[in-house]
Amino acid sequence: MPYKMHRTLANLCHTKSIRYSCVYHNLLFSLCQRLSTISTLTNAIDRNPFESPGLSYSTPVELHHLSHVLQECADSRDFQTGLSVHTLLLKLNFDRFISLWNKLLSLYCKCDQFFIARRVFDKMSKRDVVSFNTMISNCVRCNYCLEAVSFYNKMIEEDAKPNHITLAGLIGACDGLGAERLRGVLHAQAIRYGLSSNEYVGCSLVDGYAKQMRLEDAIRAFGEITELDLVSWNIMIDACVRNNNKEDALRIFTQIQQKNVEYDGFSLTSIIKTCLEPRDVHLGKLLHCCAIKNGLTCETPISNALITMYSRCERGMESAMKIFVGTLAPNVISWTAMITGFMQKKQNEQAVGLYQNMLRLGVKDNDFSFASILSVYSNLANLKHGRQIHARIVKSCFGLDLSVNNALIDMYSKCGGLEEAHLVFRTMGRHDKISCTAMITAFGHHGKGIEALCILDEMTREGLNPDDVTFLGCLSACSHGGHVDEGVWLFRMMVDIYNLKPRREHFSCVVDMLGRAGRLIEAESFIKETGIGSDFFVWETLLGACRLHGEMGLGEKSVKKIIGLQPNKHGSYVLLANMYADRGLWDDKGLVLENLAANGLRKEAGCKNSIYVLNETSDMHNCYLLQPRLCHTFTTLRNERW
């Protein structure tokens, strides 16, 4: 390539007149020396020395050779040499050669010199669609989305007709702008210019609508594409999967097979993601067979999708483990899928062992693996090892990752480290709805209702709208903290201001909150006013409050409601019998137990549990049962009348 550039520049010195050549003599010679230096870095110049081209003054300058040089500079990102060529062009008065201007734009854009490119663009006396496309594409790549739209407006003003490259790039820029309406406007522009049938424009529209959860519009845009290739089909399948529409995803996949289009690993990976429940295991096995038939099981993404599918759809982890063991090149996603599967199956010790094996093999953590193993230690309530994972996170590049920090808050709160959870929350770079909800729930579990309400206030001031889970955490915090009036106000705000439909958990939380405060009559009135008297769960909550305060009349009424709604549940009989025992009414207790037996019910035996304490000098699998401390715990609970 450098030799060709030398020949090109040698021809440039043949100008129309001796006077014109003398002006450029020194500049061309300097440029040739620069190119000779560059070629020394890339070729064996010692064996084949490069001679400076001779300079003559009789042949006219051929500007298309300069165009070739600029293209080579752009391809190699050679900014300095391109700048020298630009200097030469300025002295040659090349205004009427728009292709050279476009090559300059491309050079500066590829060299990340956007502002120089913008100045060159503004200096152009005439611009065509290539000029605008170059600037729009660079703006989208650099996330200058407003500038991209501004260039498009200028393009329309100058009557430069956009093509498929223009609109495909602009449609992709809508994500950076957060402008949902703009995508619809650009879709209309594509229809106006007859470009909606183009596969590039159509695929950009499908992908954009899918990100906005507008699947019907995505399907409509997909139907406008005239020539469909595998990429188009894959984007449509992925759009259906992202919008949780398994039926349409399967329909598109079936159409691929009917049209004899050979699907690839991306097609199967996307469609396997729709198998999320045990009832989908048959479909998952069929897709597994498709992967075997087409020789795609050796691809790691396919194996990862199958591991996730089997861990979610089957009771055990046997099939997932077989896929994992048979994976030729497992990556961190493969390990994380297995760890997550064990965690979801409550096999936390196996998840920890797998994580340790992953580290021994030198596989580096990512944000998903950190979040998964933190959830495992949350389930184990293992603060010591959770702190060790936190130390690994600090040493890694994921210390500011949002999902990782959310998992840290959850782990610390479930392991009793409320102050550490609050410290993580305060030192996070930014918060989302999950972060605030996790912190509110943590305060609620520790009976700190006021602090939870402060987090809710900060959340709304940051522009984050709370959802039903957030309000449930706030109501629970008010219930445990004794903030009844604030809790009732929160419930009204959730319904009246945020238009959220309360679930049974919300109603029960309000009943529990009123019951804990001894406001049993208000709790009963709340049940009647909200029309939830047909839900036995709220009556069970009220019954527990009646036992706490020794309210026999309302307790008996609650038991009758529960028996009428759930005659086969023994819990209400047992709770009423315990209430009578607390008051010394042994005859009434015996009568209740007789009714329990007469209805063909029996009190189930309590679960036999073991409390394990980690040995400080051993690993987490060497645990021992601490009998003296356990007995002391039972004695304390008995004294507190639990």
Residues 3, 96 within the same domain: yes
Residue with tokens 């028996």: 563
d(CA 494, CA 504): 14
Using the predicted structure, report yes or no on whether residue 54 has a pLDDT greater than 50: no
User: Does residue 109 form part of some domain?
Assistant: yes
Q: Is residue 570 part of a domain?
A: no
- Of 227, 256, 290, the last residue of a domain is 227
Do the beta carbons of residue 329 and residue 360 sit within 8 Å?
no
* Helix residue ranges, H only, 517-551: 520-530, 536-549
Better-predicted residue by pLDDT, 46 or 346: 346
The kind and range of the H/E element at 83 are helix 79-92
- For 226-273, the pLDDT digits (tens) are 999 999 999 999 999 999 999 999 999 999 999 988 999 999 999 999
* 393 class by beta-carbon count within 10 Å (0-12 exposed, 13-18 middle, 19+ buried): buried
269 with 217, same domain: the answer is no
**Are the C-beta atoms of 323 and 307 separated by less than 8 Å?**
yes
Q: Is 596 helix (H, G, I), strand (E, B) or coil?
A: helix
Q: Are residues 218 and 320 in the same domain?
A: no
Q: Where a domain ends, among 314, 330, 346? A: 330
pLDDT of residue 599: 56
DSSP 396-443: TT-TT-HHHHHHHHHHHHHTT-HHHHHHHHHH-S---HHHHHHHHHHH
| Average pLDDT estimate for 322-330 | 94
What is the predicted pLDDT for the residue at 409? Answer: 95
One domain, residues 108 and 2: yes
Task: Determine, yes or no, domain membership for 426.
Answer: no
Same-domain check for residues 105 and 151: no
Q: What is the pLDDT of residue 175?
A: 73
Identify the band that residue 554 occupies on the pLDDT scale cut at 50, 70 and 90. confident
> Looking at the domain assignment, is residue 210 inside a domain?
yes
Q: Judging by DSSP bridges, how do beta strands 612-614 and 623-625 pair with one another?
A: antiparallel
> Where a domain ends, among 227, 259, 284?
227
Task: Tell me what pLDDT residue 217 has.
Answer: 92
The DSSP secondary structure of 272-327, one letter per residue, reads HTT--SGGGHHHHHHHHHHHHHTT-TTSHHHHHHHHHHHHHHSSSSHHHHHHHHH-
CATH number at residue 193: 1.25.40
Within this chain, do residues 235 and 223 fall inside the same structural domain, yes or no?
A: no
**% pLDDT > 70, the chain:** 79
Structure tokens at 80: 């300095």
Q: How many domains does the chain have?
A: 3
What is the per-residue pLDDT for 205? 94
Q: What is the mean pLDDT of residues 115-132?
A: 90
Residue 434 has pLDDT above 70, yes or no: yes
- Examine the domain organization and report whether 290 and 306 are in the same domain: yes
Residue 467 lies in a domain: no
| Shared-domain flag, residues 1 and 107 | yes
Asked if residue 137 and residue 35 are part of one domain, the reply reads no
Please report whether residue 420 resides in a domain. no
Residue 409 lies in a domain: no
Which two structure tokens, joined as six digits, stand for 344? 């979801």
Which range, 34-43, 56-65, 176-185, 466-475, has the best average confidence (pLDDT)? 466-475
Residues 222 and 265 placed together within one structural domain of the fold: no
DSSP, collapsed to helix, strand or coil, labels residue 625 as strand
5 assigned to some structural domain: yes
Residues 109 and 20 in one domain: yes
Asked if pLDDT for residue 11 goes beyond 80, the answer is no
Helices (H) and strands (E) in the chain, counts: 35, 2
- Structural domain span for residue 209: 127-227
Same domain? For 285 and 192 the reply is no
